[in-house]
Amino acid sequence: AFIASPRHASGDESRYKIRMQNYVGGSFTTTSTTDTPSSPQYIDAINPKTGRAFGQVPISSADQVEQALRTATDAFGAWSTTPAAARSKLLQRVAGLIQEHRELFAVWESIDQGKTLERARVEVDRAVSNFSYFSTFILHQQTAARVVDGSNILTYEHRSPAGVFALISPWNMPLYLLTWKMAPCLAFGCTAVAKPSEITSMTAFLLCEVFRRAGLPAGAMNVVFGDGATTGSALVRSPLVRGGVSFTGGTATGIQIRRDTADQIYKHLSLELGGKNPTLVFGDVELDRAVATAAMAAFENQGEICLCGSRIYVQSSIYNDFVAAFTAYVEANYKCGERVGAVVSHQHYTKIRSYLLLAQSEGATFFTSSPSSLSSPDTIIPPRTPPTATGSPHEIFGPVATISKFDTEDEAVRLANDNPNGLAAVLLTRDGGRMRRVGERLEAGLVWVNCWLVRELGTPFGGMKSSGTGREGGEYSRDVFTHVRTLHMPL
Ligand code: NAD
């Protein structure tokens, strides 16, 4: 049954002692024969706002992963040949059940991840959209067919589900990013073993109950809980993962997964990795709108979105005005506990703090509150803008953005592209010609002009350079989860 949530996201969660269980073959399974609360096979699920544990996440062993993969392999035959219309109905049911339990999912996401309840609700709605979008997408597929020039031979493309997948997601938007993989995987007829981040597993656990209630065939979607070193690594390496790996997470982990699967050439690899994204603010902008967009891009979800614009570059002509307006806007609109939640864990807090202290030691000016106001063991960090830490190519992944100047278009493009990552970019200008001139030169998979985080689920999603390989979304997801063969038939 669903686990009732506390009435609000910052209260009495510690009275819950939830022991999460893997979901394999349509049943919740006890994960270990020696599972005691103190056994090392479990780690605590912690509310970062309070520091209190509300549950335990099992660390599934390689054997348990293999068992789940065998179940997914057994289920593949029937699921991959289920008509698209029937798969579509089941996915609609999944979408409907998440929608019905929207508040339950949102409250638990906020407790587990630290994000605000309002932000969590947006992400639950997007999880619903993931299932409803792909449930209808598969009903409108077309096949390319043509006659070979000068002959009587018809050729056409045939697609079939690619096989069993490993789906692995990070902690920053747990339900949304996991369902971004699960929905197309199931829609295109693949089965999978999914592993959410060990730091934020709660909504994936609730989602298993949705699959059970929706009547999804046993084994089509299995969920194992655990860390990267034990569970994730066993999952990506297994030869039973015949289809591929769809992974979202850090660049270092993406590289490790590439190494671990290097000789398994049959596995498709979809890697959505880190970002350190630029926001370019040109002198012709309407200042108030530009400030609001740049602030949202920098600080939404505490800056814990891979698409956040954490490097802000402002044209010299408006630099002083922009900094003044930006500082005032952030202080008025990004208040801790309101629009700013807790960062995901104390460990992550310590990492962010170390970057801020480094910037301070290098002589950075802090436009908003300084690092001295940070006290361990807090996990709520007011947004900060140290301007001189721009040299750092590293993704801080917290409420921290740097601001610096540029003079010309060419300089703006050079600064924006001067980073190993290439996930997203924000371009703020009213000049239509510049939108195209600059937009088309930015090394980023996603460019947002005068907006941020607009998502249309059919557009290709993914990064350039170190931000990943492959694209997902609409037909691009179809390319991930299906194999295409070309038939040649004399008429
Ligand atoms: P992470 O790479 O540490 O972990 C991501 C997932 O991989 C977790 O489930 C983890 O358990 C698992 N994992 C770790 N090591 C593994 C291994 N060797 N084999 C298999 N699985 C392993 O990332 P994180 O800290 O959870 O997430 C933050 C990162 O994710 C940031 O870099 C952020 O930019 C990135 N991210 C990217 C996107 C995108 O779409 N490009 C979206 C969200 C987050």
**CA-CA distance, 402 to 416, in Å (whole number)?**
13
306 lines ligand 1 (CB under 6 A): yes
User: What's the CA gap between 155 and 491, in Å, rounded?
Assistant: 10
Nearest CA among 219, 236, 394 for reference residue 310 = 394
Cα of 142 to ligand 1 centre, how many Å? Answer: 34
Q: Is 249 in the pocket of ligand 1 (CB under 6 A)?
A: yes
Q: Is 171 in the pocket of ligand 1 (CB under 6 A)?
A: yes
DSSP β-ladder status, 22-24 and 421-422? unpaired
- The dihedrals phi and psi of 251, each to the nearest 5 degrees, come to -65, -40
Listed in sequence order, the residues at least 6 apart from 389 whose beta carbon sits closer than 8 Å to its beta carbon are 355, 358, 359, 362, 364, 400, 402
Q: Cβ distance 248 to 181 under 8 Å?
A: yes
pLDDT value of residue 380: 65
Measured CA to CA, the distance from residue 269 to residue 263 in angstroms comes to: 12
Residue 37, pLDDT > 50, answer no
User: Which among 253, 300, 396 is the best mutation to test ligand 1's pocket, defined by most ligand atoms within 8 Å of the CB?
Assistant: 253
Confidence of residue 410 (pLDDT cuts 50, 70, 90): very high
The proportion of the chain whose per-residue pLDDT surpasses 70, expressed as a percent, equals 90
- The model's confidence at residue 366, banded by pLDDT at 50, 70 and 90, is confident
Q: What is the pLDDT of residue 418?
A: 95
Q: Indicate the pLDDT class of residue 3, thresholds 50, 70 and 90.
A: low
For ligand 1, atom 36, the nearest C-alpha belongs to 249
pLDDT of residue 161: 98
- CA-based radius of gyration for the chain: 23
Best of 60, 123, 168 for a ligand 1 pocket test (most atoms within 8 Å of beta carbon)? 168
How many beta carbons lie within 10 A of that of residue 426, not counting itself?
A: 30
Please report where in the chains the tokens 């057994």 appear, as a residue: 74
Q: Evaluate: CB of 304 within 6 angstroms of ligand 1.
A: no
Q: Ligand 1 within 6 A of 307 CB? A: no
Is the CB of 272 within 6 Å of ligand 1? yes
Distance 250 CA to ligand 1 centre (A): 4
pLDDT at 233: 98
CA dist 461 and 181 (Å) reads 12
State the distance from the centre of ligand 1 to the C-alpha of 174, rounded, in angstroms. Answer: 11
Q: Is the pLDDT of residue 40 over 60?
A: no
What is the average per-residue pLDDT within 17-22?
93
For residue 433, CA distances in Å to 210, 283, 327 come to 48, 14, 30
* Closest residue CA from atom 20 of ligand 1: 232
In this prediction, residue 364 carries a pLDDT of: 78
Check if 197 has its Cβ closer than 6 Å to any atom of ligand 1. yes
Statement: residue 8 has pLDDT above 80: no
Is the CB of 232 within 6 Å of ligand 1?
Answer: yes
Closest CA to 481 of 188, 56, 85: 188
Token duo for residue 213: 């209630």
**Per-residue model confidence (pLDDT) at position 9:** 46
The larger pLDDT score, comparing residue 142 to residue 317, is at 317
pLDDT at 203 over 90: yes
- Lowest mean per-residue pLDDT among 59-68, 216-225, 363-372: 363-372
- Ligand 1 centre to CA of 247 (Å) is 7
In this predicted model, what pLDDT tens digit does every residue of 254-293 receive, in sequence order? 999 999 999 999 999 999 999 999 999 999 999 999 999 9
**To test ligand 1's pocket by mutation, which of 248, 304, 352 has the most ligand atoms within 8 angstroms of CB?**
248
Reported as type and span, the H/E element at residue 343 is none
The pLDDT confidence band at residue 377, using thresholds 50, 70 and 90, is very low
Average of per-residue pLDDT across 202-228: 98
Q: CA dist 302 to 114, 305, 440, Å?
A: 9, 8, 29
CB atoms within 10 A of CB 264: 16
Tokens of 75: 């289920």
The amino acid sitting at 285 is V
**Side chain identity, residue 369:** S
Three-state DSSP class for residue 274 = coil
Q: How far is the CA of 271 from the centre of ligand 1 (A)?
A: 10
11: pLDDT strictly greater than 70: no
* Whether residue 161 has its Cβ less than 6 Å from ligand 1: no
Q: What is the pLDDT of residues 299-354, one digit of tens each?
A: 999 999 999 999 999 999 999 999 999 999 999 999 988 999 999 999 999 999 88
In the predicted structure, residue 16 carries a pLDDT above the cut 80:
no
Query: What is the whole-number distance in angstroms between the Cα of residue 95 and the centre of ligand 1?
Result: 25
**Residues near 127 by beta carbon (within 8 Å), at least 6 away in sequence:** 98, 105, 175, 176, 179
Catalytic residue numbers read 272, 306
Closest CA to 342 of 367, 365, 374: 374
Structure confidence by residue, pLDDT tens digits, 50-107? 999 999 999 999 999 999 999 999 999 999 999 999 999 999 999 999 999 999 999 9
Is the pLDDT at 126 greater than 70? The verdict is: yes
User: How much is the pTM?
Assistant: 0.94
Ligand 1 site, residue 5, Cβ cutoff 6 A = no
- Measured in whole angstroms, the distance separating CA 135 from the mean position of its chain's CA atoms is 20
Give the integer Cα–Cα distance in Å for 377 and 375: 6
- Residue with the smallest CA separation from ligand 1 atom 16 is 228
Interval between CA 349 and ligand 1 midpoint (Å) = 17
What pLDDT shows up at residue 355? 87
pLDDT, one tens digit per residue, over 444-482 is 999 999 999 999 999 999 999 999 999 999 999 999 999
Q: State yes or no: pLDDT of 378 exceeds 70.
A: no
Residue 370 — pLDDT band, cuts 50, 70, 90? low
User: Tokens representing 399?
Assistant: 């409420």
Given this model, what pLDDT does residue 38 score?
A: 46
Residue type, 478: R
Report helix, strand or coil for 416: helix
Cis upstream peptide for 420 (omega within 30°): no
> How far is the C-alpha of 419 from the C-alpha of 427, rounded, in Å?
16
